[in-house]
Chain A
Amino acid sequence: MIVFDQVQKSYQVGGRAIPALHPTSMTIETGEVFGIVGHSGAGKSTLVRLINLLEPPTGGRILIDDENITGYNASELRAFRRKVGMIFQHFNLLSSKTVADNIAFPMKLAGIYSRSEIRERVDELLKRVSLADQANKYPSQLSGGQKQRVGIARALACRPTILLCDEATSALDPQTTQSVLKLLADINRELGLTIVLITHEMDVVRRVCDRVAVMDAGEVVEMGAVSDVFLHPKHPTTRDFVFESESIDREEMQRDLEHAPGRILRLTFRGQSTYTPLLGSVARESGVDFSILSGRIDHIKDTPYGQLTLSLVGGDLDIAMNAFEAADVHVEVLR
Chain B
Amino acid sequence: MLLEKKLRARLEKNKILLMTHIVLGYPSMAANRQVIAQMVAGGVDCIEMQIPFSEPMADGPVILKANQDSLAAGTKVADCLAFGAEMTARHDIPFLFMTYYNIIFKYGEEKFFKDCRDAGIVGLIVPDLPPEMGENFFKLATEYQIAPVLIFTPTSTDARMAELDKVAAGFIYCVARRGVTGKQSEFGKDFNTYLARCRAATTLPLAVGFGICNRDDVTAITGLADMAVIGSETIRLVDAHGPEAVEPFIAGLR
A binds B: no
- Residues of chain B touching chain A, judged by Cβ–Cβ distance below 8 Å, are none
- Residues of chain A touching chain B, judged by Cβ–Cβ distance below 8 Å, are none
